[in-house]
């Protein structure tokens, strides 16, 4: 994990993890400060009150791929507001694994009374490049009020619930021909040919709580020599050919205990970007 403080200036209405140019017509912007700090999180958690944060309300959170969008509401309208988002850098050993953030609000002395609803949007890779939040149960805490929190149970269940049949077994046609649709995703605690970048199948298994599902993964542990220079991109869709390879150099690599979801190690025999 890396400790960092990254200040992002993000327009109120438009966000993408591919940073674009700021709109010069926006007179008011929201300043977002991102921190990865366990001690910073615990210090804020132990003193959730008006002493450390101006008032605001948590409304919603959406996590998709590398992007996080947290909707908040607050009074103001005359000055730029600052939100400090602190990630606790921890992953629980529960099923599903959990992590958390706390948000602190600085109104910068704004006394105006317009009620503003804003979206705090940022890239997960700006906090960490080792964890994929869309496979976790993520709790967001309000640093102003200990009674206010929201959570995300992972990716949108509407995208995957139709595939859930309760079966943890992974069945694929083993072949040298590209015929299995997958998405390249960072699997929590994963290891393999491209680190924790694995291939998620279009299938899922219920995590045992409402609206939370585990992906089923192909764990790439080997690849055909003629494909050796290929590196998949997080979030992109591919069609692959694969053969199960239980004996591999990654089978003895120690990893953390958090559960990434059902997986099977494979040798990639064919890969093409899915249009």
Say whether pLDDT at 24 is over 80: no
Given 92, 119, 152, the domain boundary residue is: 152
The mean-pLDDT minimum among 26-35, 162-171, 207-216 falls in 207-216
Cβ neighbours for 117, distance < 8 A, ≥ 6 positions apart: 59, 71, 72, 73
Say whether pLDDT at 178 is over 50: yes
Are 43 and 176 part of one and the same domain?
no
Can you tell me whether residue 125 is helix, strand or coil? helix
Are 107 and 226 part of one and the same domain?
no
- The phi, psi pair for 227, rounded to 5°, reads -110, 10
Q: What is the pLDDT of residue 27?
A: 42
H/E stretch holding 86 reads strand 81-87
**Domain CATH number, residue 223:** 2.40.50.500
Mean pLDDT (the chain) is 80
At 165, the pLDDT band (50, 70, 90 cuts) reads low
Are 101 and 219 part of one and the same domain?
no
Say whether pLDDT at 158 is over 90: no
Q: Quote the tokens at residue 236.
A: 């992109």
Q: What is the pLDDT of residue 94?
A: 54
- Torsion (CA) 68, 64, 147, 95 in degrees, nearest 10: -130
84 or 216: whose pLDDT is higher? 84
Are 161 and 246 part of one and the same domain?
yes
Closest CA to 7 of 39, 35, 29: 35
Say whether pLDDT at 241 is over 90: yes
H/E stretch holding 54 reads none
Are 237 and 265 part of one and the same domain?
yes
What pLDDT digit, counting tens, does each position of 138-151 carry?
889 999 998 898 88
Question: Mean per-residue pLDDT for 169-186?
Answer: 91
DSSP class of residue 50 equals: T
Are 79 and 97 part of one and the same domain?
yes
Q: Which domain holds residue 215?
A: 157-273
Are 99 and 192 part of one and the same domain?
no
Domains identified in the chain, total number? 2
At 93, the pLDDT band (50, 70, 90 cuts) reads low
Q: What does the alpha-carbon distance between residue 258 and residue 252 come to, in Å, rounded to a whole number?
A: 16
Q: What does the alpha-carbon distance between residue 129 and residue 190 come to, in Å, rounded to a whole number?
A: 12
Answer whether 0.75 is exceeded by the pTM: no
Are 103 and 199 part of one and the same domain?
no
Neighbours of 251 (CB within 10 A): 12
Q: What does the alpha-carbon distance between residue 84 and residue 105 come to, in Å, rounded to a whole number?
A: 6
Are 235 and 111 part of one and the same domain?
no
Are 27 and 135 part of one and the same domain?
yes
Question: Mean per-residue pLDDT for 31-56?
Answer: 93
Question: Mean per-residue pLDDT for 218-240?
Answer: 91
Are 70 and 144 part of one and the same domain?
yes
**Residues 264, 199: contact at Cβ < 8 Å?**
no
Are 202 and 84 part of one and the same domain?
no
Given 136, 152, 168, the domain boundary residue is: 152
Say whether pLDDT at 19 is over 70: no
pLDDT cut 90: percent of the chain above it: 44
**Residues 198, 220: contact at Cβ < 8 Å?**
yes
Cα separations (Å) of 149 from 59, 82, 99, 142? 9, 19, 13, 6
Closest CA to 196 of 232, 161, 164, 227: 232
H/E stretch holding 43 reads helix 38-45
């Amino acid at each position: 994990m890396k400790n960092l403080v990254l200040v992002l200036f993000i327009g109120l209405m438009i966000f993408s993890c591919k940073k674009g140019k700021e709109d010069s017509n926006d007179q008011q912007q929201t300043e977002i400060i991102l921190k990865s700090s366990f001690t910073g999180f615990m210090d804020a958690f132990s003193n959730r009150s008006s002493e450390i944060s101006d008032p605001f309300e948590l409304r919603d959170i959406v996590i998709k791929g590398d992007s996080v969008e947290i909707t908040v509401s607050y009074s103001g309208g005359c000055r730029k507001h600052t939100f400090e988002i602190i990630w606790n850098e921890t992953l629980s050993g529960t099923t599903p694994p959990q992590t958390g953030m706390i948000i602190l609000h600085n109104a910068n002395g704004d006394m105006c009374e317009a009620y503003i609803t804003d979206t705090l949007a940022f890239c997960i890779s700006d906090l960490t490049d080792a964890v994929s939040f869309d496979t976790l149960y993520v709790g967001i805490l309000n640093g102003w009020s200990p009674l206010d929190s929201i959570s995300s149970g992972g990716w949108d269940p509407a995208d995957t619930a139709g595939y859930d049949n309760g079966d943890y077994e992974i069945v694929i046609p083993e072949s040298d021909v590209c015929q299995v649709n997958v998405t390249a995703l960072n699997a929590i605690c994963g290891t393999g040919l491209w680190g924790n970048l694995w291939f998620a199948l279009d299938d899922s298994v219920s995590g045992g709580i409402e609206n939370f599902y585990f992906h089923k993964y192909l764990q790439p542990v080997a690849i055909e020599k003629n494909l050796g220079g290929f590196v998949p991109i997080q979030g992109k869709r591919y069609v692959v050919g694969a053969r199960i390879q239980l004996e591999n150099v990654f089978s003895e690599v120690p990893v953390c205990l958090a559960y990434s979801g059902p997986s099977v190690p494979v040798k990639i025999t064919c890969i093409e970007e899915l249009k």
